[in-house]
A = this chain, B = another copy of it.
């Protein structure tokens, strides 16, 4: 099956306790497209960049099977730019610079050839833009997932709720889940949030793994314990991309397959944080990925059949 990805394709400048970068390519759309390309072969990107965006990166995406017909290149304009600095514990960060540039008036045009895409991943963008994408699909995708962030909860909560009511899967982190639901307990938060629309809720907990809620079911996926987290930027998008890439490639939206998809996404996210930006995702092979998935299996596998 095919996957539609909408999200920012951007420049990031990152500072962590381990070092800092100049402007490098980042953005939710980039991470989602790269990571999902490990699983799904037919992928379609809707995004916008300025004329300063490197053509080689677009070529790289194409070489990985990403259809870039929906990637608008705005002449005379500049690509979205974000700069941030991580604190020592890597769990929090300060935004130093946000230059919206081409994102300010982003009109997500869906090429005719993208119509009929079965799966859609809406990366973090304004809820209005995310909703436009859904409304512009002549046939509703089989499964729509969206990411968002506390920023939209602060300034556009009603718009966010409207968009959330139209999607199947919401992917947010624990802090965002607490803000959105006004509940501290993630179990209670999950109930409140699913009443807002999404039948499936994934709560990302960073180094503590992720939770998937659906109906009365819950799945707890681990994060791989790592010696160092070098740069967390893009890890959440990489997770979401791997998740949706796996689902669309296997075309199976059962709860059991969603669990597999979460492991598939977690494995890619565990690579993402090992180097700056997209660097590690560019290096790894399918064999590396399969070996990493096996480490996740070993990490949580136990057999209680031998009981007392």
Q: In the complex, what residues of B have CB within 8 A of residue A229's CB?
A: 185
Complex CA distance for A89 and B257, rounded to whole angstroms: 33
Known A-B contacts A89-B184, A187-B225, A225-B187; A306 and B260 likewise in contact (beta carbons under 8 Å): yes
* A290 close to B (CB within 8 Å): yes
Q: Mark A249-270, 1 if CB is under 8 A from B, else 0.
A: 1100000110110110000000
Name the distance in Å between A299's Cβ and chain B's nearest Cβ: 5
Contacting pair B250 A306 (CB below 8 A): yes
Complex CA distance for A296 and B303, rounded to whole angstroms: 11
* A219 close to B (CB within 8 Å): yes
Complex CA distance for A300 and B302, rounded to whole angstroms: 9
Known A-B contacts A220-B225, A225-B220, A227-B187; A249 and B308 likewise in contact (beta carbons under 8 Å): yes
Q: In the complex, what residues of B have CB within 8 A of residue A219's CB?
A: 299-300, 302
Name the distance in Å between A89's Cβ and chain B's nearest Cβ: 7
Which residues of chain A from 220 to 242 have a CB within 8 Å of any chain B CB? Answer: 220-222, 225-229
* A162 close to B (CB within 8 Å): no
Q: In the complex, what residues of B have CB within 8 A of residue A211's CB?
A: 225
Select which of B187, B208, B226 is within 8 A of A205 by beta carbon: B208
> Which of chain B's residues has its CB closest to A190's CB?
B225
Q: How many residues of A contact B (CB 8 A)?
A: 47
The number of times this chain is found in the oligomer is 2
Q: In the complex, what residues of B have CB within 8 A of residue A259's CB?
A: 301-302
* A218 close to B (CB within 8 Å): yes
Contacting pair B218 A220 (CB below 8 A): no
Name the distance in Å between A39's Cβ and chain B's nearest Cβ: 6
Complex CA distance for A208 and B297, rounded to whole angstroms: 18
* A155 close to B (CB within 8 Å): no
Q: Mark A68-106, 1 if CB is under 8 A from B, else 0.
A: 000000000000000000001100000000000000000
Select which of B88, B205, B246, B300 is within 8 A of A300 by beta carbon: B300
Complex CA distance for A50 and B208, rounded to whole angstroms: 42
Q: Which has the most chain B C-beta neighbours within 10 Å: A205, A217, A257, A308?
A: A308
Complex CA distance for A184 and B87, rounded to whole angstroms: 13
Contacting pair B297 A225 (CB below 8 A): no
Name the distance in Å between A307's Cβ and chain B's nearest Cβ: 7
Contacting pair A304 B308 (CB below 8 A): no
Complex CA distance for A186 and B224, rounded to whole angstroms: 11
Which 3 residue pairs are nearest across A and B when measured between Cβ atoms?
A208-B208, A220-B222, A259-B302
16 cross-chain CB contacts under 8 A:
A39-B308, A185-B229, A188-B227, A188-B228, A208-B208, A209-B222, A218-B299, A221-B300, A222-B222, A222-B300, A250-B308, A259-B302, A260-B303, A260-B306, A263-B302, A290-B307
